[in-house]
């Protein structure tokens, strides 16, 4: 018996969805370096996934380069914080940009073992291709440490990170103490 045209179309639509889901699952399982299941499932996609790494260098007060277990260097933008900018060609730096970067370099010296933690409420990478992650050292939240010292602020956005409330509270305390940029940049 030959199925009616609506039944065939529905069947084709279901097959297309199944194929699309399968392709998305395969592509989602490929790390940005093209390796299937890069980092043995410990990397970027998913709810609170944790990826070990080693600090290669600190770019500024909220961005680091980390080497993953497979030897790949990735740029990581610390989630939930905003540090003052360093000067760039044609753009002046912001007040406390250099001290913020120095502080992060103290917290994350080259060779430091870190854990990169994704946030299920956030994108995996930003428009610049940087991984968006919390960075931890021995369970210590480095973004929170930057805020506590007055080297960064809690980043306020329309899509706040899971740790935003805690970060905002730490920022309020840093402001009250006049820590870092909260005194230097008045």
Q: What pLDDT is recorded for position 120?
A: 94
Nearest 5°: the CA angle 101, 102, 108 is: 85
pLDDT surpasses 80 at 1: no
Q: Once rounded to an integer, what is the mean pLDDT over residues 29-38?
A: 34
Q: Convert the pLDDT of each residue in 127-162 to its tens digit.
A: 999 999 999 999 999 999 999 999 999 998 878 999
Q: How far apart are CA 165 and CA 26, in angstroms?
A: 35
Residue 31 pLDDT level (bands cut at 50, 70, 90): very low
Q: How far is CA 76 from the centre of its chain?
A: 6
Q: Are strands 50-60 and 113-117 parallel, antiparallel or unpaired?
A: antiparallel
Q: Once rounded to an integer, what is the mean pLDDT over residues 78-86?
A: 97
Q: What pLDDT is recorded for position 18?
A: 52
DSSP reduced 3-state for 64: strand
Percent of the chain predicted with pLDDT > 90: 72
Q: What pLDDT is recorded for position 155?
A: 93
DSSP reduced 3-state for 136: strand
Q: Which residues of 33-51 are buried (b: 16+ CB within 10 A; e: fewer)?
A: eeeeebbeebbbeeeebeb
Tokens 């639509």 correspond to: 13
């Amino acid at each position: 018996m030959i199925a009616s045209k609506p039944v065939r179309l529905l069947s084709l639509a279901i097959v297309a969805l199944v194929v699309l889901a399968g392709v998305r699952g395969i592509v989602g399982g490929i790390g940005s370096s093209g390796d299937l299941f890069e980092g043995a499932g410990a990397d970027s996609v998913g709810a609170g996934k944790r990826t070990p790494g080693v600090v290669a260098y600190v770019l500024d007060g909220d961005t680091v380069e980390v080497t993953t277990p497979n030897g790949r260097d990735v740029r990581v933008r610390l989630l939930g914080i905003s540090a003052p900018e360093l000067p760039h060609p044609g753009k002046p730096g912001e007040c406390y940009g250099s001290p913020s970067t120095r502080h992060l370099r103290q917290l994350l010296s080259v060779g430091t073992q870190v854990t990169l933690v994704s946030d299920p409420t956030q994108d995996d990478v930003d428009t610049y291709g940087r991984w968006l992650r919390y960075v931890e050292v021995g369970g210590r939240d480095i973004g929170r440490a930057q805020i506590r010292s007055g080297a960064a602020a809690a980043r306020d956005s329309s899509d706040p990170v899971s740790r935003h409330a805690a970060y905002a509270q730490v920022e309020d305390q840093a402001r009250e103490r006049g820590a870092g940029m909260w005194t230097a940049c008045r």
